[in-house]
């Protein structure tokens, strides 16, 4: 089969790779119908060391079940499924608590411990299929393109935006600031709106993206950064934002969050941190700021978010603004890296 691998900084290639097979009775094989490039995929794109063997890529995909192991009971061949970005058993204490990203038996795609490969490929072996995969009755690979795009967001970015808003404590009437106009930031705006936020400030400087953010529910856009951006948000919120959703993962975005949050407020981080050390001293402790967030257990949210996607009430798939064939995945990475595309869909 064809699959995407990275061999070093900026070196993405689509190669012939071994076909996946059933290895455990709890496995399923999924033929990928749509995958995508995530903003977090750009982190290794910018920093991966040279690796002559290459490493498979991609953690967001939807597709059709082709085969299942003997112990799989919740999906069957022919089912259309969403694959969350974390593999989870569904039965351990963390899965039962809705924290599938901490599953004691699970892990992630491209995980040497689990033996998983990436989703930017023609097919994927899915361990712990009963706990991981979510079937979507009544949908198949020939569904409307807009619906397929929205279903794909449920594998990561929509659920991650929802997680940011939920952990941030967004409720009816909330004032929220979202830092970052990537796909996760825009879907954090959408999620905050769904949860009833009254004032949503989006900090971003790319007009096409912030225009979509306004359509998703942003009431204000702040393009300025640094001290100027902080001052603008604090002015718009009469002294600071009670809830801040940080959807970038770079240190300046976190520092921006500390700058705009109100005393007693909450910072919810879902951007994958690209730093090991960050301010958590007096700047957070002094004003009684709550720091929360983390990798989103999107498996816990899919059934809740799915109905509005299926009936068209929301259309999170609008974050996709470019589609490439699997063999052109490297061009998709380059387009996102150059900010020529917001989020790239990959069609095997």
pLDDT digits (tens, 9 = 90+) for 9-66: 999 999 999 999 999 999 999 999 999 999 999 999 999 999 999 999 999 999 999 9
| Torsion angles phi and psi, residue 202, rounded to 5 | -105, 120
- For range 273-300, the mean pLDDT: 95
Residues 70 and 85 in one domain: yes
Residues 209 and 321 in one domain: no
Fill in the DSSP letter of residue 115.
T
Task: Please say whether the beta carbons of 80 and 136 come within 8 A.
Answer: yes
Residues 137 and 44 in one domain: yes
Query: What is the domain count for the chain?
Result: 2
Read off the CATH number of the domain in which 178 is found: 3.40.50.720
Chosen domain end from 293, 313, 339: 293
If pLDDT is split at 50, 70 and 90, which confidence band does 241 have? very high
Residues 6 and 152 in one domain: yes
Residues 288 and 336 in one domain: no
Task: Please say whether the beta carbons of 77 and 67 come within 8 A.
Answer: yes
Written as six digits, the tokens of 286 are: 């002094």
Are β-strands 290-293 and 80-83 bridged in parallel, bridged antiparallel, or unpaired? unpaired
| Torsion angles phi and psi, residue 287, rounded to 5 | -85, 15
Residues 10 and 147 in one domain: yes
C-alpha 15/C-alpha 4 separation (Å) is 6
C-alpha 27/C-alpha 323 separation (Å) is 29
C-alpha 14/C-alpha 30 separation (Å) is 19
- Which three-class secondary structure state does DSSP give residue 214? helix
| N-to-C CA span, the chain | 10
Chosen domain end from 272, 293, 314: 293
Read off the CATH number of the domain in which 124 is found: 3.90.180.10
pLDDT of residue 19: 97
Bridge partners, residue 37, by sequence: 344
C-alpha 173/C-alpha 196 separation (Å) is 6
Chosen domain end from 293, 314, 330: 293
Residues 129 and 71 in one domain: yes
DSSP codes of every residue in 134-166: EE-TT--TTS-HHHHHHHHHTTTHHHHHHHHHH
Residues 115 and 166 in one domain: no
Residues 43 and 163 in one domain: no
- For range 268-290, the mean pLDDT: 94
If pLDDT is split at 50, 70 and 90, which confidence band does 295 have? very high
317 half-sphere exposure, CB direction, 13 A CA radius: 21
Residues 83 and 185 in one domain: no
Sign of the Cα torsion 194, 195, 196, 202 reads negative
C-alpha 203/C-alpha 230 separation (Å) is 10
Residues 333 and 268 in one domain: no
Residues 163 and 208 in one domain: yes
Which tens digits make up the pLDDT trace of 253-265? 999 999 999 999 9
pLDDT of residue 329: 98
Q: Is the pTM of this model over 0.95?
A: yes
The range of the structural domain enclosing residue 258 comes to 159-293
């Amino acid at each position: 089969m064809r699959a995407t691998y990275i061999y070093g900084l900026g070196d993405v290639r689509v190669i012939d790779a071994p076909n996946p097979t059933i290895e455990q009775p709890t496995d399923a094989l999924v033929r990928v119908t749509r995958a995508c490039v995530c903003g977090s995929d750009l982190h290794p794109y910018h920093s991966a060391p040279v690796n002559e063997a290459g490493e498979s890529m991609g953690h967001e995909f939807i597709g059709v079940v082709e085969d299942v192991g003997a112990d799989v009971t919740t999906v069957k061949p022919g089912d259309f499924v969403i694959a969350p970005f974390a593999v989870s058993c569904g039965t351990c204490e963390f899965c039962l608590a809705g924290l599938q990203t901490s599953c004691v038996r699970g892990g992630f795609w491209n995980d040497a411990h689990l033996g998983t490969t990436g989703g930017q490929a023609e097919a994927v072996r899915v361990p712990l299929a009963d706990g991981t995969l979510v079937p979507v009755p009544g949908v198949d690979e020939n569904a409307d393109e807009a619906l397929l795009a929205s279903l794909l967001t449920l594998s990561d970015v929509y659920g991650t935006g929802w997680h940011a808003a939920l952990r941030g404590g967004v409720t009816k009437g909330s004032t929220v600031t979202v830092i970052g106009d990537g796909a996760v930031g825009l879907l954090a705006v959408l999620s905050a709106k769904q949860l009833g936020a009254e004032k949503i400030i989006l900090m971003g400087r790319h007009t096409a993206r912030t225009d979509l953010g306004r359509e998703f529910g942003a009431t204000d856009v702040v393009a300025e950064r640094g001290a100027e951006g902080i001052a603008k948000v604090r002015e718009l919120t009469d002294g600071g934002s009670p809830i801040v959703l940080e959807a970038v993962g770079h240190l300046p975005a976190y520092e921006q969050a500390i700058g705009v949050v109100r005393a007693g407020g909450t910072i919810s981080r879902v951007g994958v941190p690209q730093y090991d050390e960050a301010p958590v001293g007096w700047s957070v402790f002094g004003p009684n700021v709550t720091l929360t967030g983390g990798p989103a257990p999107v498996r816990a949210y899919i059934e809740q978010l799915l109905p509005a996607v299926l009936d068209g009430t929301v259309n999170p798939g609008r974050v996709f603004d470019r589609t490439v064939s699997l063999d052109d995945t490297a061009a998709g990475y380059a387009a996102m890296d150059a900010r020529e595309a917001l989020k790239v869909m990959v069609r095997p």
